């Protein structure tokens, strides 16, 4: 079940949290985006139809920062999430490249600066190192974009 974990930034304090992501309708129009960091029980069907937390370790999060765990670890044993920047040697190459990790239809891919995609699982954990993410690392994002990444 670890594969279903997500990494996201919490709204209170801006720290990164790992857990199980959900979005609940709060009233008619709005959604509340949360991450469950421990086992919990929720009640989302109260008489007033509003989301309530009950016996839960829940934190409201910034939905634009949600990244799903790929199921793959880097060579240091760190989880790789959608939105991470990695340095990796693609299969058949000895050269490390800066790549961004994305999820598309349940498949995790790493995109290099030339917009070439490689399936993340084909690279091999021992050839990957997480070096940052697209949300916190403006310098890496700028370097990636200026060199043609995301064409």
The answer to the question of residue 151 being in a domain is: no
Reported confidence tier of residue 1, pLDDT bands at 50, 70, 90 = very low
The answer to the question of residue 106 being in a domain is: yes
- 92 and 55 in one domain? no
Reported confidence tier of residue 93, pLDDT bands at 50, 70, 90 = confident
pLDDT of 54 strictly over 60 = no
- 74 and 55 in one domain? no
82 burial via Cβ count (<10 Å: 0-12, 13-18, 19+) = buried
Q: How many domains does the chain have?
A: 2
Q: Which residue in the block uniquely carries the two structure tokens 């060579």? A: 75
Show the domain range for 7: 2-64
- 82 and 25 in one domain? no
Task: Say what the pLDDT of residue 27 is.
Answer: 76
- Look at 111 and 57; give whichever has higher pLDDT: 111
The answer to the question of residue 47 being in a domain is: yes
CA 93 to CA 61: how far, in whole Å? Answer: 38
CA distances from 34 to 28, 31, 84, 146 (A): 18, 10, 20, 34
The answer to the question of residue 60 being in a domain is: yes
- 38 and 104 in one domain? no
Torsion of CA 45, 48, 54, 57, to 10 degrees: 90
- 106 and 47 in one domain? no
Per-residue pLDDT of 20-40, as tens digits, reads 898 988 777 888 898 888 655
């Amino acid at each position: 079940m670890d594969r279903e974990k997500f990494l996201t930034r919490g709204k209170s304090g801006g720290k990164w949290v790992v857990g199980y992501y959900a979005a609940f309708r709060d009233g008619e129009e709005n959604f509340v985006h949360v991450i469950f960091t421990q086992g919990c029980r929720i009640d989302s069907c109260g008489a007033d139809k509003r989301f309530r937390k009950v016996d839960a370790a829940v934190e409201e999060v910034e939905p634009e920062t949600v990244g799903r765990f790929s199921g793959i670890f880097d060579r240091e044993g760190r989880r790789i999430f959608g939105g991470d920047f990695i340095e990796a040697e693609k299969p058949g190459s000895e050269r490390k490249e800066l790549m961004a990790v994305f999820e598309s239809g349940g498949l995790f891919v790493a995109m290099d600066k030339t917009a070439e995609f490689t399936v993340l699982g084909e690279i091999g954990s021992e050839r990957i190192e997480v070096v940052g993410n697209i949300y916190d690392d403006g310098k890496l994002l700028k370097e990636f974009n200026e060199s043609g990444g995301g064409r």
